[in-house]
């Protein structure tokens, strides 16, 4: 009977996950039996090929309607498919960066990087399709534990060891807080299934229970804010970004952050939108909590952009930039407009392109100069004009200058703040003001590249993997900035993008 039940499931909807799992397992076995002195670069191409096959299998599932298997613990819907595409695309680009990563002490654990990275990706993908608190948490921990190890992969580098330790401590605390909040939800509803929880909470009338549910919301918001690196739970990010290997930093800033917003949307909108808040005019608990989310968004934008002004280390600068961008995304979440999910997906897609492109160039410069100081970018235009122009494009997009994907993403988030009643004028004003502040440090980097004498005079060599990443990211940043309709037309292929709300 059990065997017949297993065969009855539509396992094809998990094809991308099975592919990533199979490739990660194969890589771990191959790496185990390879001679220690053999180059691990072919393993990187194998990992990239696996991710590309997973993308192809995912595109084959686009026409498949919403499907739930394993008692609704795994749910393939338009939301999951759209965000998996972002995760897989970002993963392929990060893997290309990792193959060309050459720190001055050399790369000792390159083989381990590839399969640990794929297990982290698998955890993120599981989160996008989870229909249950247990699978959500398992996916979150699979992503987190792999990330802790990846952050400390440069064992001979004391900053990498320090970053891994801080990441583990902060991550452990955030996990405990998140799980504590989930336990309240389970205690109030007696279920871990998201749809059943939503049905139970929609009938919750007792004021004491509603206060407990509000406490659960705040605990989960605090715990997940660590993952997003939003203020005041951001202090781990600059140290981890600086100490981790550059490909890992790129992964944390793009893929891990996307996964963080995935679990926030899955949890809070699926669960708390159905719950009623206590008050004279009962409304959705999620709407009653808007002020808390708005405070996080405003503080994150202000502190992230302000502290970035004093940074000389480029990776720390991008860490605070990443914190600020988390604030911009939280504006979309706080507004809770009808275009919230679409605008956040577009922003994450634009952020993936412009940030990974910038990290690819950052890796090339730091590997060949041995320093992460901003002065190493001085005169980049004379050492490699094309690379400098590309970096200029990414910086302009991060700053939100018109004609780039970053500008379109910010405009859609900004307009979403006015698409609700009442409109979020204060958040929109903070977003404009902090964006202007960000021009100072973004254009400081821009000035170094184009208007300062060269720190080094030898031509800058660009490896193949970095060339592919920079080219793809630059094309995407420019094309989606000039013709954003192309990306939205693609998004229209995901019918009922927000059907996870149902």
CB 110, CB 27: distance < 8 Å: no
pLDDT value at position 7? 59
Indicate the angle between helix axes 405-416 and 314-335, nearest 10 degrees.
40
Residue 398, domain member (yes or no): yes
Does some domain include residue 383? yes
In a domain, residue 218? The reply is no
Residues in Cβ contact with 112 at an 8 Å cutoff, skipping those fewer than 6 apart: 31, 149, 153
The domain tally of the chain equals: 1
Instruction: Please give the Cα distance from 24 to 309 (Å, whole number).
Output: 40
329 pLDDT above the threshold of 80: yes
Asked if residue 251 is part of any domain, the answer here is no
Please indicate whether residue 487 or residue 227 has the higher confidence score (pLDDT): 227
**Which range marks the domain in which residue 478 is found?**
289-502
**315 belongs to a structural domain:** yes
pLDDT at 499 over 60: no
Assigned domain for 397 exists: yes
Give the DSSP H/E element, type plus range, for residue 43: helix 41-59
Residue 190 to residues 159, 270, 315: CA-CA distances in angstroms? Answer: 45, 16, 45
Quick: pLDDT tens for 144-194: 999 998 888 877 777 888 888 888 998 888 899 999 999 998 888 888 888
Domain-embedded: residue 388: yes
Q: What is the pTM for the complete model shown?
A: 0.91
Whether residue 80 contacts residue 128, with contact meaning beta carbons closer than 8 Å, is answered with yes
Residue 500 pLDDT > 50, yes or no?
Answer: no
| Within-domain flag for 245 | no
pLDDT tens string 270-327: 888 777 665 544 566 777 778 888 888 999 999 999 999 888 889 999 999 999 999 9
Q: How far apart are the first and last CA of the chain?
A: 32
- How does the average pLDDT of the chain come out, rounded? 84
Nearest to 137 by CA among 38, 234, 220, 40: 220
In sequence order, the β-bridge partners of residue 75 are 68
List C-alpha distances in Å: 410 to 74, 339, 345, 350: 32, 13, 12, 10
Cβ neighbors of 441 (< 8 A, separation 6 or more) are 305, 308, 309, 311, 317, 321
């Amino acid at each position: 009977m059990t065997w017949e039940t297993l065969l009855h499931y539509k396992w094809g909807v998990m094809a991308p996950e099975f592919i990533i799992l199979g490739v990660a397992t194969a890589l771990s076995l191959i790496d185990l039996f390879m001679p220690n002195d053999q180059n691990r670069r072919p393993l990187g191409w194998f990992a990239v090929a696996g991710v590309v096959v997973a993308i192809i299998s995912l595109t084959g599932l686009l026409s498949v309607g919403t499907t739930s298997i394993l008692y609704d613990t795994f749910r393939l819907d338009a939301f999951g498919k759209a965000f998996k595409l972002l995760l897989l695309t970002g993963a392929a680009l990060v893997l290309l960066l990792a193959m060309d990563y050459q720190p001055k002490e050399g790369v000792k654990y390159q083989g381990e990087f590839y399969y640990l990275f794929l297990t982290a990706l698998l955890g993120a993908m599981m989160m996008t399709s989870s229909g249950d608190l247990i699978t959500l948490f398992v996916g979150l921990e699979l992503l987190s534990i792999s990330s802790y190890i990846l952050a400390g992969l440069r064992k001979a580098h004391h900053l990498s060891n320090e970053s891994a330790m801080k990441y583990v401590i902060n991550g452990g605390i955030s996990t405990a807080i998140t799980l504590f909040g989930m336990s309240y939800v389970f205690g109030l509803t007696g279920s871990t299934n998201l749809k059943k929880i939503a049905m139970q909470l929609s009938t919750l009338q007792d004021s004491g229970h509603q206060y407990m549910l509000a406490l659960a919301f705040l605990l989960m918001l605090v715990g997940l804010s660590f993952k997003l690196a939003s203020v005041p739970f951001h202090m781990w990010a600059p140290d981890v970004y600086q100490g981790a290997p550059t490909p890992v930093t790129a992964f944390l800033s793009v893929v891990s952050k996307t996964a963080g917003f995935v679990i926030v949307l899955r949890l809070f909108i699926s669960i708390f939108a159905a719950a009623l808040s206590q008050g004279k005019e009962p409304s959705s608990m999620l709407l009653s909590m808007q002020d808390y989310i708005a405070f996080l968004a405003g503080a994150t934008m202000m502190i992230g952009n302000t502290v970035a002004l004093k940074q000389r280390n480029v990776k720390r600068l991008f860490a605070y930039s990443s914190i600020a961008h988390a604030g911009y995304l939280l504006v979309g979440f706080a507004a809770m407009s009808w275009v919230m999910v679409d605008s956040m997906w577009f922003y994450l897609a634009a952020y993936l392109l412009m940030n990974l492109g910038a990290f690819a160039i950052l890796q090339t410069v730091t590997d060949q100069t041995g320093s992460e100081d901003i002065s190493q970018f001085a005169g980049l235009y004379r050492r490699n004009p094309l690379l400098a122009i590309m970096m200029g494009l990414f910086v302009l997009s991060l700053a939100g200058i018109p004609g780039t994907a970053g500008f379109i993403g910010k405009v859609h988030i900004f307009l979403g703040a006015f698409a609700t009643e009442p409109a979020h004028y204060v958040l929109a004003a903070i977003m404009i003001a902090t964006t202007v502040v960000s021009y100072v440090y973004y254009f400081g980097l821009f000035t170094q590249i184009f208007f300062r004498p060269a720190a080094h005079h030898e031509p800058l060599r660009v490896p193949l993997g970095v060339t592919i990443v920079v080219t793809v990211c630059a094309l995407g940043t420019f094309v989606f900035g000039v013709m954003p309709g192309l990306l939205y037309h693609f998004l229209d292929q995901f019918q009922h993008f927000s059907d996870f709300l149902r």
